[in-house]
């Protein structure tokens, strides 16, 4: 059974700092790894998806990497802004198209 | 292209009642998945529907059921509500990437409160 872990559970940084969020998974037989953002009481916004054959994806100030062999993914946020404050979730997709989510990292960017 | 829509956005029900939630996927997406999100358990997979057939089911009791219509819209039903069913219910519309990989797009969710 796939298990996904995210560290740290919470992170508070000053505006402008670069930061890294970590995600690990136990079963490397994944189809892709997806990073989401969730604002309080809202749904999930997809940020980046890395297919199993890829090593990284970039979108603006965000960069996500995937290392299937070690069961790890990282989300790098450059030059953080207060608007980046949210909960970030990673999810692994298995063969049944079912997403297994981590418990999330709650990010606060202080002005 | 319109995103995933879910109705209603908020619901308050009493223990023992039943509830039906609705989800309309992105146009052209034929697969719909449902997830439950609670503070204690996080996000958990409920079930997936494709072409009106349940293709996959998570570890939830039989009180949780769903269906999908020919236009890909989906409903989920929870019977005999319990306090522990209070949660944010999220629907996801799935896009096949053609490589055996899939990308899921989520709706805003339905916040269910059981009193």
pLDDT band at residue B71 under the 50/70/90 scheme: very high
Distance CA A53, CA A42 (A): 31
Mean pLDDT, residues B84-99 taken together: 90
Higher pLDDT, B114 or B30: B114
Put simply, the answer to whether B94 touches A97 (Cβ < 8 Å) is yes
Put simply, the answer to whether A46 touches B58 (Cβ < 8 Å) is no
In this model, does residue A3 exceed pLDDT 70?
yes
Question: pLDDT tens-digit profile of A20-65?
Answer: 999 999 998 888 999 999 999 889 999 999 998 899 999 999 999 9
From chain B, pick out residues whose CB is under 8 angstroms from the CB of A51.
97, 99, 101
- Kindly report the nearest CA distance between residue B17 and chain A, in angstroms: 24
DSSP 8-state code for residue A42: -
pLDDT band at residue B88 under the 50/70/90 scheme: very high
Higher pLDDT, B96 or A100: A100
Rg, Å, chain A Cα set: 13
Higher pLDDT, A107 or B98: A107
In this model, does residue A101 exceed pLDDT 70?
yes
Residues of A with CB under 8 A from a CB of B: 31-32, 34, 36, 41-46, 49, 51-53, 89, 91, 93, 96-104
Mean pLDDT, residues B63-80 taken together: 96
pLDDT band at residue B1 under the 50/70/90 scheme: low
- Kindly report the nearest CA distance between residue B89 and chain A, in angstroms: 9
Mean pLDDT, residues A8-23 taken together: 96
From chain B, pick out residues whose CB is under 8 angstroms from the CB of A91.
43
Give yes or no for a contact between A79 and A16, defined as CB atoms under 8 angstroms apart: yes
Give yes or no for a contact between A101 and B36, defined as CB atoms under 8 angstroms apart: no
Put simply, the answer to whether A101 touches B43 (Cβ < 8 Å) is yes
From chain B, pick out residues whose CB is under 8 angstroms from the CB of A97.
31, 33, 48, 55-56, 94, 102, 104
CA B57 to chain centre: 11
From chain A, pick out residues whose CB is under 8 angstroms from the CB of B104.
34, 46, 93, 97, 99
């Amino acid at each position: 059974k796939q298990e996904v872990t995210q560290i740290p559970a919470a992170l508070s940084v000053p505006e402008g700092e670069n930061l890294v969020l970590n995600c690990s998974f136990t079963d490397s037989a994944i189809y892709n790894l997806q990073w989401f953002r969730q604002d309080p009481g809202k749904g999930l916004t997809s940020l980046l998806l890395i297919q199993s054959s890829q090593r990284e994806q970039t979108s603006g100030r965000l960069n996500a990497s995937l290392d299937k062999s070690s069961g790890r993914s990282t989300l790098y946020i450059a030059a953080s802004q207060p608007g980046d404050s949210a909960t970030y979730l990673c999810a692994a997709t298995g063969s049944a198209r079912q997403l297994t989510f981590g418990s999330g990292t709650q990010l606060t960017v202080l002005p | 292209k319109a995103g995933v829509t879910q109705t209603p956005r908020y619901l308050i029900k009493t223990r023992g009642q039943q509830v039906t939630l609705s989800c309309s996927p992105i146009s052209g997406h034929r697969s719909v998945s449902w997830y439950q999100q609670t503070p204690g358990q996080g996000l958990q997979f409920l079930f997936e529907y494709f072409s009106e057939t349940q293709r996959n089911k998570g570890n939830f009791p039989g009180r949780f059921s769903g269906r999908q219509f020919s236009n890909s819209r989906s409903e989920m039903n929870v019977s005999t509500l319990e306090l522990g069913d209070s949660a944010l219910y999220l629907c996801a519309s799935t896009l096949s990437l053609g490589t055996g990989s899939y990308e899921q797009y989520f709706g805003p969710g339905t916040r269910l409160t059981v009193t």
